Every structure is written in structure tokens, then in C-alpha cells.
Amino acid sequence: MEPYAHDVIDLALIRATQGGLPLVSSPYAAVGTQLGIDEAEVIARLTAMQANGTLRRIAAVPNHYALGWRANGMTVWDVDDACIDALGEQVGALPFVSHCYRRPRNLPLWPYNLFAMAHARTREEALPLVARIAQLLGDACRAHDVLWSTRILKKTGLRLPPARTE
């Protein structure tokens, strides 16, 4: 995909919303007021950025620890390269997986090439979820492990630096 050329307003809109939308009854209008554009333009620009792949989604991001989901495991899988893309799509679609991605192996120390973050309230509840992924992967999976979260060190996505004033 070719990079999309963003104008100054797009970049200001990203910066204004990257920490979340304002918690008001009309958040797009509030952002528009901050940027000197109307609500319709905010919505149109965000929609265009979703369509061109700049934004994946606009959604609430709950703190899963505060909601009681404390057994969070990054499951790692050694999956046959010939079918990893199709299987990764299926794993990523599971309701208990928040993100799933392919990574290069680092042989001989790290044979895993598919990563999927699974969430549950307890490890006892999480283990059947890991087994469900293993079942889905079937014979294409040669090995796996689970890296359990012990604490949150960072809970944000990518942030653009402040605009330069020159």
C-alpha cells in the first residue's frame, strides 16, 4: 500500500485524538472546535483515514485489568509458513484474542512466528483458550508457549510527537 499524503489538518486531527476522544456528548464537534473545523469535516477526515489504512479503527479501549481480566497471555506459536497467513486470520478472529500478528523467527533460540494475545479472568480460564488456538492450528503447529503478563508497563499505541513550530 502506498503511503497516503496527509495535510496539516489531518496531522493535527491525529494529534488531537491519539490520546482518545473527549468525553463529551459531541466529541467530534469538540475536536473540530479545537482545530477550527466543523464536526462534519472531522468525521469525513477520520472516515477517509480509516478507508486509506491510516487508522485501523475508532473504538473504546478498556483497561482489561480494571475489568477483572488479569490472566493475559501472549501465546507464541511455531506455525508452518505455508499456512500461517490463513491460520493467523482465523486465530485473530477469535473473540478472546485482542491482537494477532506474524513475526520472524530467531533460530535457534526462538522458533515462534505467530503471536496472539489471549485474555481471561484467571489462568485456569485461559488455558482452555490456549488449547482452542492449538486445536485450530492443528498439525500446522509444531510448538507453542504462553508468556503471561505480570504487570502493565505501557498501555498506549503509537503517538505522534508534537508539531514543530518553526
Tens digits of residue pLDDT in 53-67: 888 888 777 777 788
**Among 73, 71, 163, 79, residue whose Cα is nearest residue 125:** 71
Q: What are the E-state strand segments in 12-158?
A: 71-79, 97-102, 114-120, 141-148
Please list the residues that pair with 106 across neighbouring strands: 110
Cβ(95)–Cβ(106) below 8 Å: no
pLDDT value at residue 57: 82
Q: Decide if domain 71-148 falls under CATH 3.30.1330.10.
A: no
Q: In the chain, which residues fall in CATH 3.30.70.920? A: 71-148
Q: What is the mean pLDDT of residues 103-125?
A: 96
Instruction: Measure the CA–CA gap between 76 and 81, rounded to whole angstroms.
Output: 14
Tens digits of residue pLDDT in 12-35: 999 999 888 999 999 999 999 999
* Four-CA torsion 88, 90, 94, 98, nearest 10 degrees: 30
* Four-CA torsion 44, 49, 50, 53, nearest 10 degrees: 160
pLDDT value at residue 157: 67
pLDDT value at residue 67: 80
Instruction: Measure the CA–CA gap between 141 and 91, rounded to whole angstroms.
Output: 12
Measured from the Cβ of residue 75, the count of other Cβ atoms closer than 10 Å reads 22
**Among 127, 125, 94, 70, residue whose Cα is nearest residue 114:** 94
